[in-house]
Structure 1
Amino acid sequence: MHFPTTPDRECLEKEPKILQLLSGCPSIVRLYRFYEDDDSLHMVIDLCNGGNLFDRMSSGTSFSEAEAALMLKQLTVAISYCHRLGIAHRDVKPDNILFDSQGRLKLADFGSADWFGVSEDGTMRGVVGTPYYVAPEVVMGGEYNEKVDVWSAGVILYIMFAGAPPFYGDSPAEIFEAVLRGSLRFPPTIFCSVSSDAKDLLRKMICRDVLRRFSADQVLRHPWIINVRETQVNG
C-alpha cells in the first residue's frame, strides 16, 4: 500500500487499526502483522486462496437456497460483529467476500470502513461504496447509519438468486437513479422457485425506509436464516 499524502496515509492506517479490533470474528479476515517501509504499509492477513464471491457469481455458479442462506448467515455474523463494535464496513460487495482453503467466508477490505460509534447520534457521512450495492441514503449524500451494510448484503443475496442486481443501469449515474427510484421486484420467471421466507427477508433488507430496514441482528433472527443447516449444504 502506497500513501503519498497525509490524508491518504491516515486513511490507510485506519484499516489495520480496525482489523485489529475485529480480530475475534472468524468470518472477518484476521490481521497478523502490519509494518511500514519508506513509502508503504504492509499487512499480513489470512491466506484466502479459495477465491471470492464475485468470481463464483461471474462463473455462472447457481446457489441453492441452503447455500445462499448459509453464505448470508456467515456474512451477517461478520457485519453484526462490526456493528456491535461501532464499525460500519460501507463497501460490502462480492469482491470483498473471500474464501479460505476450507471454503469459509471472510469479509475483507475495510478501506472504506468507519467508526459510527464515535458520533453522538451514531451516524456517518460520505459517498462511499460501489454503485450496485450502495444504499439510497448514501447516494443522497446525507447522514446515514450502519444499516447501509444490511442493504448491501441484501443486494448480494438478490444477485445470488437472480444473477443480476435489483437496480441497474448503463452508468453509475443511471444505477444511482435506479437505487433511489426503482422498485424491488421479483420476476416470476426467476423467483418462482424461491421461497416466500427468502423473499420476505429480501424485502426487509433492501428496504428504503431505514427505520423499517432490518438490522444485522434481526437478519440473523429471521426464520429463513435460523432454519438453515450446514448439513443441507454439505449433504
Structure 2
Amino acid sequence: MADKQGFLTKEGGSIKTWRKRWCVLKNGSIYYSKNANSCELGTIHLKNVTNVVQSQRKKKNLFEVETPDRTYYMKATSPDEMQSWINILNKTLAKMKSSASAGQPTKERVGVEDFDLLNVIGKGSFGKVLQVRKKDTGMIYAMKVLNKKNIVERNEVDHTRAEKNILQKLVHPFLINLNYSFQTDDKLYFIMDYINGGELFFHLQNEEKFDLARVRFYCAEIVCGLEYLHNCGVMYRDLKPENILLTADGHICLTDYGISKEGLLSDDDRTATFCGTPEYLAPEILKGEAYGKAIDWWSFGTLVFEMLSGLPPFYSSDIRIMYNNIMTQKLVFTPQFTQESRDFITALLERDPNKRLKDAKVIKSHKFFAGIDWEKCVRKELVPPFIPPVKGKNDTSQVDAGFLAETAKLSAENHTSKLSSSLQKNFEDFTFVNDNEHLMHKNL
C-alpha cells in the first residue's frame, strides 16, 4: 500500500515549467504521473536522496528533494500538506539509512521458509491463496501459489508472465500490490498485500444485492482502476465480484491478473484468446472474433446489473443456454432499476463493441455517476457506504468459511511435479523484491 499519495506541483527538469503531478510514495520511491490514472510514471528513488527540506525559494509550500544529480522542487497545496510530505519522506529516509547501517541488503532474498502459513483464504483453477505471516517482521500478506507443471500443461506460461509483469509495474490506489515473488522447483509464489475486507462476491452473497448509492461508489472506484489498466495497455479480462476485494476501510481493490493481456496500447489493438468467466464474457469473445479492451466494459456492465439485482443479466445454470442468452436475449430490468442505471447498463451491454460505451471519460460523465467528484474518488476521499467489520490486520472474519476450514499447507515436492531444465527456463527472472527498481524511469 502507498505510504502517501496526492497532487504536488513539480518543477520540470530541462524545461523549468511547473506541472501538477500525482505523486505516490511507495516502497522507498516517489512515483509521479500526470494524474492518478496515467501510466506514464517518473521515479525518484529515495536511496539516492541526500536531503528533504523546506525550500528557501520565494514560493509558498515549496520543498526540495535533493539528489547528487538533481534537486527536485515540489510545491504542496498547503503548509500542513508540505510539512506532511517532508515528515514522511524524512522518516522513510531514516528507516532506509538505519537498515543500510545495520548491514541489511537493499534486496533481501525471500523464500517460502520465511513465512508462517496461517489460513487458506482463496482457491481457484490457478491454485490457492494463503494468509501468511513474514517471520522476521510479523507482517501479514496473501501468498498466491501456482503449480509450474499445471501452468505449462495448460499453456499459461505467457499469462503467468503477464500477471507478474502487471503486478510488478503498476501503481494505483485500487490495484493489489505485489511485495515479493519467488519460486521453487515445482511452484511459483506471489506475496501480495493482505486485503481483509472480503471479496465483493462474499458480501453480495450475504446481502443478495446492494443499494444504488453503494453500487455507484464501487463502480466509480472500479472505473478508475479499469481506466488506469487500459491506459497502461492492460486488458483485465476477468472482472467479476470474486476478483474485487474490499479494504478494511471499505474501498475496492482489483486483484488476480492471471488471464490479463498486456501490450495493448492502441485502441485498435486486438487479441483472440478465448478466456474469462462465463457469466461475464462479451459476445465478441463467444463469437470467436478478435476483441479489444471493450470486453472489460461489457463485464463491468454485467457486474453493475448483478450488484443491483443479485444475479448477472443473462445467467443460467446451463452454460450453453447462458452463452445463447448473452448473444441474443433481450435485457430485462426489474422495477428497482432507476432510469439512469437502465440507460447506463444498456450502453455498456451493447453487443456491438463499436457502439458500446467504452470511453472512460464518457463513462465518468454519465448521469449514473451524477455527483461523483472523480479527483476525490481516486484519492480515496469519498466516504465508503459500508465498512467491513474487521478487527486487526490479520482478521479473517470476511473470508468464506469454506476456505478457512482447509488446512494451510503446501503440497510436498515430488519428482513427478518437477520440470525439466528446459521447461524451467520459462520461469527465469521470476524472483522479485519490491524495493526501488521495478518501475519505469521516464522523466515527465
- Common fold by TM > 0.5: yes
Partner of 1:12: 160
* 1:162 to 2:309 alignment: yes
Partner of 1:21: 169
Which segment drifts farther, 168-177 or 57-66? Answer: 57-66
CA contact (8 A) 1:112 1:129 kept: yes
- Equivalent of residue 56 in structure 1, options 203, 213, 217: 203
SS of the residue aligned with 1:114? coil
Partner of 1:100: 247
Larger strand percent: 2
Q: CA deviation at 1:187?
A: 2.5
Q: CA deviation at 1:126?
A: 1.3
* 1:32-80 CA distance string (max 9 Å, x none): 1111122211111121111101111111244221110010111111111
- The one-letter code sitting in structure 2 at the alignment partner of 1:161 is L
Partner of 1:214: 357
Unaligned runs of 5+ in 2: 1-145, 374-381, 387-444
Q: Distance in 2 between matches of 1:227 and 1:109?
A: 30
Q: Distance in 1 between matches of 2:259 and 2:365?
A: 27
| Aligned positions of 1:78-89 closer than 5 A | 78-89=225-236
CA contact (8 A) 2:166 2:257 kept: yes
Q: Distance in 2 between matches of 1:8 and 1:65?
A: 38
Partner of 2:194: 47
| Aligned positions of 1:68-147 closer than 5 A | 68-115=215-262, 117=264, 121-147=268-294
Q: CA deviation at 1:164?
A: 1.6
Partner of 2:298: 151
Q: Distance in 2 between matches of 1:134 and 1:115?
A: 18
| CA spacing shift, 1:212–1:75, aligned 2, 3 Å | same
CA contact (8 A) 1:138 1:144 kept: yes
| CA spacing shift, 1:126–1:70, aligned 2, 3 Å | same
Unaligned runs of 5+ in 1: none
SS of the residue aligned with 2:156? helix
* 1:169-197 CA distance string (max 9 Å, x none): 23211111110011111133xx3xx3211
Q: Distance in 2 between matches of 1:10 and 1:233?
A: 39
Q: Distance in 2 between matches of 1:120 and 1:136?
A: 18
Q: Distance in 1 between matches of 2:236 and 2:293?
A: 8
SS of the residue aligned with 2:147? coil
Q: Distance in 2 between matches of 1:30 and 1:204?
A: 32
Q: CA deviation at 1:15?
A: 0.6
- Equivalent of residue 3 in structure 1, options 126, 137, 148: 148
Following TM superposition, the consecutive aligned residue runs of length 4 or more in structure 1 with deviations greater than 2 angstroms are 5-11, 118-121, 228-234
CA contact (8 A) 1:116 1:124 kept: no
Q: Distance in 2 between matches of 1:121 and 1:205?
A: 19
What TM-score comes out, normalization by structure 1 length?
A: 0.90
* 1:203 to 2:351 alignment: no
* 1:233 to 2:233 alignment: no
Q: Distance in 2 between matches of 1:168 and 1:145?
A: 23
SS of the residue aligned with 2:148? coil
CA contact (8 A) 1:77 1:220 kept: no
* 1:5-39 CA distance string (max 9 Å, x none): 274334322211111222x2111111111111222
Q: CA deviation at 1:216?
A: 4.9
Partner of 2:62: none
RMSD, aligned α-carbons: 2.0
- The one-letter code sitting in structure 2 at the alignment partner of 1:25 is H
- The percentage of aligned residue pairs carrying the same residue is 27
What TM-score comes out, normalization by structure 2 length?
A: 0.49
Q: Distance in 1 between matches of 2:158 and 2:342?
A: 41
